[in-house]
Amino acid sequence: MARRQDRLTVDDVNGAWAIIPTPAIDTGDDWRTEDSVDYDEVARSVEGLITAGVDSIMCQGTFGEGASLTWEEKKKMMEVMVETAAGRVPIFVGVTTLNTRETIRQLKHARDIGADGTMLGLPMWQQIDVPGAVRFYQDVAEAVPEMAICVYANPEAFKFDFPAPFWAQVANIPQVITCKYINIGQLHLHTLVSRKQIRFLALEFHHADAAKMDPDFHTAFWSPCACTGPELTIHWRDSIKQAAKTGDWTIPDQLYNKMIPVLANLFPPGGFAEFSRYNIQLEKERINAAGWMKAGPCRPPYMSAPANYLEGAAKAGTGWADLTKQLIAGKL
């Protein structure tokens, strides 16, 4: 078991939290394939991300295909990640299911093999209200108190808008220390109502805006881009950390202006809601095109997407790879 003896706290949440897909073997898009995971690529990617300098790794969310993996696949992937990381960075695994009891069963296994926490979304078969959502996280925390919780706050996936009263109440759960967060417009409010008991992980390209609001507290972000070339993600993290100290945001602002045109290719017309319809397909297309990680094919049933959406995703991947090459060559 590689997990540290004491449970992680909000003070442990800093830097770049990479989120990885679940790499698939070449036949991973065939329902007849009994074990679709490329475990060698899991280990190689985890090692590569740690070597590059990421601060934590999360898995088995939406584009991690947590919903289309078997339990046997999820278990083995967790085990490979924990064994590879060997305690060097926290490992947060996805145990989102359709009910509380199954989530707890899976999280107990993650605890037993040495994972540090979970990136955990709400059950989504039925739309849930605030009391039900809070109770869900309370129950999971009570059942597996050793494990830290990162709330997976995706309103499209979980049919829940994660309002201020929710954050005010889950902040009372000691295990809830962070959140995979996309609502930059509500970040200040949600930080206030949660009394800084939860460190919200802003989306990668929102990190500078978050840090400018409160440079001492907003010190972490979640990164899918790390799997398209972690060097640029680490450079982005470090440039913002330095700017927060000096007050000179010239370098982060310049980086942002180069990153955003590339990342914009990932999002189809219709905004986040339309992107969410094809999240898995577009993210895997982007990662495969970048070439740093072999994400492989998508698993059934989430495999098809409009051709022009996939073209944009691939362009986002190759564009990030090009920026990474420029950075390594000292030309960015």
pLDDT digits (tens, 9 = 90+) for 151-179: 999 999 999 999 999 999 999 999 999 99
Residue 270 in any domain: the answer is no
Structure tokens at 89: 């960075």
Parallel/antiparallel/unpaired status of strands 220-223 and 15-20: parallel
- How many residues are given for the chain? 332
For residue 149, tell me if it sits in a domain.
yes
**Is residue 190 situated within a structural domain?**
yes
- Report the domain count for the chain: 1
Centroid of chain to Cα 90: 13
Q: What is the pLDDT of residue 3?
A: 55
This prediction's pTM = 0.96
Checking if the pLDDT of 114 tops 90, the result is yes
Q: With respect to residue 313, please indicate whether it lies within any of the assigned structural domains.
A: no
Assigned domain for 3 exists: no
**How many percent of the chain have pLDDT more than 90?**
96
Q: How far apart are CA 171 and CA 324, in angstroms?
A: 37
Dihedral angle computed from the Cα positions of residues 286, 321, 247 and 213, in that order, rounded to the nearest 10 degrees: 0
- For the beta carbon of residue 229, count every other beta carbon within 10 angstroms: 24
- Among residues 233, 161, 171, the alpha carbon closest in space to that of 200 is found at 171
Residue 196 lies in a domain: yes
The CATH number for 56's domain is 3.20.20.70
Find residue 18's DSSP bridge partners. Answer: 57, 223
The burial of 299, by beta-carbon neighbours within 10 Å (0-12 exposed, 13-18 middle, 19 or more buried), is given as buried
31-46 pLDDT, tens digit per residue, is 999 999 999 999 999 9
Domain of 163, in residue numbers:
10-244
Pull the structure tokens for residue 219: 């010190």
Give the span between the Cα atoms of 319 and 76, in whole angstroms: 33
Looking at the domain assignment, is residue 262 inside a domain? no
Cα dihedral 293→238→252→250 (10° resolution): -150
If we measure between CA atoms, which residue out of 213, 168, 220, 212 comes closest to residue 190? Answer: 168
Phi, psi of 65 (to 5 degrees): 60, 35
What pLDDT shows up at residue 5? 64
DSSP annotation of 152 reads: E
Residue 106 within a domain: yes
pLDDT digits (tens, 9 = 90+) for 76-108: 999 999 999 999 999 999 999 999 999 999 999
Distance CA 298, CA 24 (A): 7
**What is the pLDDT at residue 2?**
54
Residue 4 pLDDT class (50, 70, 90 cuts): low
CB 199, CB 149: distance < 8 Å: no
Q: In the predicted model, what is the mean pLDDT of residues 230-258? A: 97
Crossing angle between the packed helical segments 250-263 and 230-246, to the nearest 10 degrees: 150
What is Dmax (Cα atoms) for the chain?
Answer: 56
Q: What is the structure's pLDDT at 272?
A: 86
